[in-house]
Amino acid sequence: MFDKLSFTEKRFEEINEKLMDPTVINDNNLYRDLMKEYKNLTPIVEKYREYVKVKQNFEEARQMLEEGGLDKEFKEVVQEELETSKEQLGHLEEELKILLLPKDPNDEKNVIVEIRGGAGGEEAALFAHSLFRMYSMYAESKGWKVDVLNLNETELGGIKEISFSIEGEGAYSRLKFESGVHRVQRVPETESQGRVHTSTVTVAVLPEVDDVEIEINPADLQIDTFRASGAGGQHINKTDSAIRITHLPTGMVVECQDERSQYKNKDKAMKVLRSRLYEEEQRKQTDAIASQRRAQVGTGDRSERIRTYNYPQGRLTDHRIGLTLYHLEDNLNGDLDEVIDALITADQALKLAAQSGEDQE
């Protein structure tokens, strides 16, 4: 590990010098790529340098104690320094192991989130609306931008399905564990008898991809236009501005009717299609990995029940990591950091364990 850290520090210094070279500064693409690498290496190098400094303090204290000749009071001070440094080294080593874990190449990407009402009819649609509100408020708290791509509402204000993008630094790294089945237990807003019902909503979080990352042959697309429809007579249904794109090789269908402009709807629909095709390709690659070598809390499987929102008990439970919180109202108002941080920590622990197992083989 420390050979790798030493090499990383040398590479960091090398990039630092290159970033001051006028020829590099004038090459926009090279400068951008080097700045990205420099940014990724910075936390690793800073932590490594902190480790080296503490290691030096530890060695100096150990040497002084071995040489002896210290008065009692000063010896106690040095002994305390030795023990403190030893404890710090243990913590820093663990932090460095986490920083050296392979990065998910999608972590810094924007995301496309798709929410669909599942079992439970109108109650599921109403909860789909609650989840959209929750993610929108979380995005707002992070300073991220939310843009609705497609929306299919019900007459009572629920959402049959919605696609929206979230743009912001690290959006995918924070939201990627949200994919799966979200279950709600509550007395339905449409129910007056006071019985608790269980409904489900599916969430898919896709990394937004560029044109160059996924190639789509125009000949593989069937593009249809139709009149936008929705609760309340969206766009007054006067123009064929809505777009439906069918990807013929896979049968994948994407619709977008949120914009009045046919061109804008097509752009948004293509954005969703690219992300879905990219996710499908990633899923195939992940499935090709032997199950015992997988190390993830769970991302991408839309059929996996991941979380329950129990209104009567004010409880949120994430079933993948056994986490239960009792401030559901805050969670639904966008306070998600506690559960997301716990998921990231659990994922890192699994990856560290998997890496440790591979190192021992």
- Per DSSP bridges, beta strands 221-226 and 197-207 are unpaired
CA–CA separation, 272 and 270 (whole Å): 5
CA–CA separation, 39 and 12 (whole Å): 9
Question: Quick one: pLDDT at residue 234?
Answer: 46
Domain boundaries, the chain: 2-99, 111-349
Tokens of 238: 């006067």
Question: Quick one: pLDDT at residue 26?
Answer: 92
pTM above 0.85, yes or no: no
Tokens of 177: 């564990």
Q: Does domain 2-99 have CATH number 3.40.50?
A: no
Tokens of 277: 């095709």
CA distances from 103 to 37, 224, 354 (A): 12, 39, 15
Angle between helices 72-99 and 28-67 (to 10 degrees): 150
Question: Quick one: pLDDT at residue 284?
Answer: 76
Task: Supply the CATH classification number for the domain 111-349.
Answer: 3.30.70.1660
Question: Quick one: pLDDT at residue 103?
Answer: 82
Question: Quick one: pLDDT at residue 253?
Answer: 92
DSSP string, 165-201: EEESTTHHHHHGGG-EEEEEEE--TT--S---EEEEE
Question: Quick one: pLDDT at residue 288?
Answer: 58
CA–CA separation, 122 and 154 (whole Å): 8
DSSP, collapsed to helix, strand or coil, labels residue 279 as: helix
Q: What is the pLDDT along the chain (361 residues), one digit of tens a residue?
A: 788 898 899 999 999 999 999 999 999 889 988 998 898 899 999 999 999 999 999 999 999 888 887 888 889 998 999 999 999 999 999 889 888 888 888 888 899 999 999 888 889 999 999 999 999 999 999 999 999 988 989 888 899 999 999 999 999 999 999 999 999 999 887 666 678 889 999 999 999 887 666 778 889 899 888 877 655 444 444 556 888 999 999 999 998 887 778 888 888 888 889 898 888 887 776 665 554 445 456 554 556 789 999 999 999 999 999 999 999 999 999 999 999 999 999 998 888 887 766 655 5
Question: Quick one: pLDDT at residue 192?
Answer: 65
Terminal-residue alpha carbon distance, the chain: 16
